[in-house]
Structure 1
């Protein structure tokens, strides 16, 4: 008989958690490390920025559209098996990217890399309960949140160093080597999947295709920005709505649905997903609005702007693991509420402090928002995954990742539009004008979103 998790030696938890951490690091690194290479790629392939941006967009589309489907595959075929396939695919696609001879081949390779990243995003969180005792789940979730933040923060600087030293292929070569190391470590230490009674394979391919079409249309409507006409963006948004309605109809009739609609009748799960989407929208506001305000209103140089912006990921990385320990000690609910209140408070501070105290006010407000986000993420992820049935942990984790991605995508477009609108008028509270007014209006909306997320969390746990 296999020993329970609590009977296994403590080093096995740490080694397995290290392997999971490496699998969590790679997708976030893959998201941010390629951005810094875009100008170099434009020069190398003699292509306009509008074409080169598809190196980023194709990765984002693959992750967003496929994450739920691969999470379901992990539940059906075994999380260890599918997670290793995802890590291997990421490593192989990265190696091919380093050898790509033209831009559109690289774009296609980035889509394959995004598929591998989607598998890792969905199944790393889902695998925590297979490898870590329940009383350590919060700490594990906090550590994975820290690793993700480190990957996002490290990507641009690491990419810049590699490009300056060896050229843009070095970015993909590095990810290939790191992916290979993650595969070898995971193969050695991930526990075997629990044997299941053999049954006929039945996967909801129609549901996956319709959901992917819907999410892809929505993502394109928000990421294309000025590259597409207003009519095209409206058409894509309409296609997303029609596709989502069709997906619900398909799932309600499917014998083995991709997403059991009864899952969404669980108020705690629905509240956790909604809160994650809303708070991720607020987080993206700090990334999108910050550079414009710091350079426009405060007159910072690009280097100083980057340094100020790095405070956010840095704080998230420092707070993530302690946040998980707090979850284990005080429970998911208390830490969730504290995190959401902190995000709302940080948003209010962002309205008041930067116009009064300049960079110091901005940085301190940003630190409050990102620290609170780390608290919320550790607690919310723990609560959602602890409430998931074993045979549905993959798809539940995928839904959690999807809600975060959709929040980030929405924040990039919607909060950017709010900032642009506010920048046309006087200060929201007569504390500034132009860019200061845009900052105030943006974070007034952000504070409202955080309060809505808090109400959702309270309703879900009532």
Structure 2
């Protein structure tokens, strides 16, 4: 793809360059807004679940599908949507995704029944899958290589901002206007994102004659069903037997690998996960599989902060609900503030060192959370949490830049989908596995447990978290240390 406004001749080169720069900034603003909206779509709905259960007179287990439908759509479809964008054109599919997200938001706000709302949320999740996968993929098209780190940092900032805004904005909207407002609020910015992307990103140039390959429908369907089974298992099954879901996921993975190995134009070339990229071709610079695994491990740890934090702050430290929310907001706020500076460091010093720095910071923070006594109070929890979150922002900026830089143009959507999928799988896994570790450490029901028991559960959880980050560090050191591109100074 070409950027709009590229210089067209000697006489107007300077003017054309200015137009190009302004157009790219508009396009980047549109991409950032799509990332914020897709993240906000997750966080804002949670706060509305009690009100929805009351309005529709349904049990909490049923109303949870308002959140689950959105997450399942994203998780199961993001890789396929990313690959489809590579084939039919990323701008075209991104615009369709934004339109679907915006229209589904309006339908959700107008829903007259719970199941109509759930259906609208599933469609909204499909739009969000396109927005997440293709916004990241577009950074390589729209931004000069020397500034990709900053752009990736901006995407991380907007994602964190969407996460941080959700609970506060959602609560205020419900109190003032009722539950439909938490869905309708995304309609105007969705329309704005559509216009910004349409104006700021150049038209697709899809190669003729099938040069980009065909869409692998069977592989996409098998992968989607496999991911759905795994995600349902990790979220408690919702009435379905968890062992059967895990068995189905394992069988689906085996079938997917078999189908991909025998397909002429597979969704996922299996050698890609163990390959490296160099000079825009798949050949020899960065091990993609290792970076995806690191991304999943780090996301698992970050989910632990969301699972354990409320219990530790309220039960072990005795904080009121308002203070718990304030303390919990430290993580997203730090992530939002450090995203762009983290990207600048990546642009200056390269991805290898900054990946290691981010993981080292997260390790230190987790070790402190595992060792510091509860007698240190809120500062003893929030201080290390800030270190973990800043490390996460640095890791994300470096890892995303390393993965997306230098890729073949016709694989950026697919790889972006894989990158986002690895993060989502880490979050889903973290909610289940780290929750079980915390429960094991507490030894009884965390809601009624003594403060010392809850503090013990927190320490055990973050000891496991530190071990997971140490594994990620080992991957970074042993597999990726010599694989990163050289630092870009200036």
TM-score range relative to shorter protein: over 0.9
Q: Give the deviation of 1:3 after TM superposition.
A: 6.9
Q: CA shift at 1:354, angstroms? A: 4.7
Answer yes or no: is the 8 Å Cα contact 1:354–1:362 preserved in 2. Answer: no
Q: 1:242 aligns with which of 243, 246, 251?
A: 251
Map of 2:309 onto structure 1: 290
| Structure with greater helix percent | 1
* Equivalent pair of 1:153/1:310 in contact (CA under 8 Å): yes
Residues 78 and 133 in structure 2, CA contact (< 8 A), matched pair in contact too:
yes
1:394 aligns with 2:405: no
Number of aligned residue pairs: 453
| 1:86 matches 2:92 | no
Find the aligned partners of 1:212 and 1:460 in 2 and give their Cα distance: 29
Q: Work out the CA distance in 1 between the residues paired with 2:477 and 2:5.
A: 32
- Unpaired runs of 5+ in structure 2? 8-16, 277-286, 445-450, 483-490
Corresponding position of 2:84: 73
Residue 268 of structure 2 is matched in structure 1 by 259
Q: Does 1:26 align with 2:45?
A: no
Q: Give 1:6 shift.
A: 8.2
**How many angstroms does 1:156 deviate by?**
1.0
Contact kept in structure 1, 2:87 and 2:206, CA below 8 Å: no
CA contact (8 A) 1:5 1:133 kept: no
Report deviation, 1:189.
Answer: 1.4
Deviation at 1:2, TM superposition (A): 6.3
Cα deviation digits, residues 306-334 of structure 1 (max 9, x gap): 11000000000000000000000000111
| Contact kept in structure 2, 1:142 and 1:322, CA below 8 Å | yes
* Matched ranges for 1:82-161 at <5 A: 82-161=93-172
Summarize the Cα distance change of 1:359–1:6 in structure 2 as closer, same or farther, 3 Å threshold: farther
1:419 aligns with one of 432, 438, 459: 438
Aligned to 2:284: none
Aligned-partner Cα distance in 1 for 2:411–2:206: 16
Q: How far off is 1:343 after superposition?
A: 0.7
Contact (CA 8 Å) 2:4, 2:24: kept in 1 or not? no
8 Å CA contact 2:338–2:393 kept in 1: the answer is: yes
Within 2, Cα distance between the matches of 1:107 and 1:214? 21
- Distance across 2 between alignment mates of 1:2 and 1:165: 45
CA contact (8 A) 1:270 1:460 kept: no
Match of 1:456 in 2: 475
Q: Could you tell me how far 1:160 is from its partner in structure 2?
A: 1.0
CA drift of 1:5 comes to 8.7
TM-score norm. by structure 2 comes to 0.90
Q: Closer, same or farther in 2 for the Cα pair 1:363/1:195, shift >3 Å?
A: same
RMSD between superposed Cα atoms in Å: 1.7
Task: Quote the offset at 1:353 in angstroms.
Answer: 2.5
Deviations 1:354-394 (A, max 9, x none): 52411101000100000000000000000000142111000
Q: 2:422 matched to 1:403?
A: yes
Work out whether 1:271 is the aligned partner of 2:290: yes
The question of whether the paired residues in 2 share the 8 Å contact of 1:97 and 1:106 is answered with: yes
Q: Check the 8 A contact 1:5/1:131 in 2, yes or no.
A: no
Deviation at 1:75, TM superposition (A): 0.3
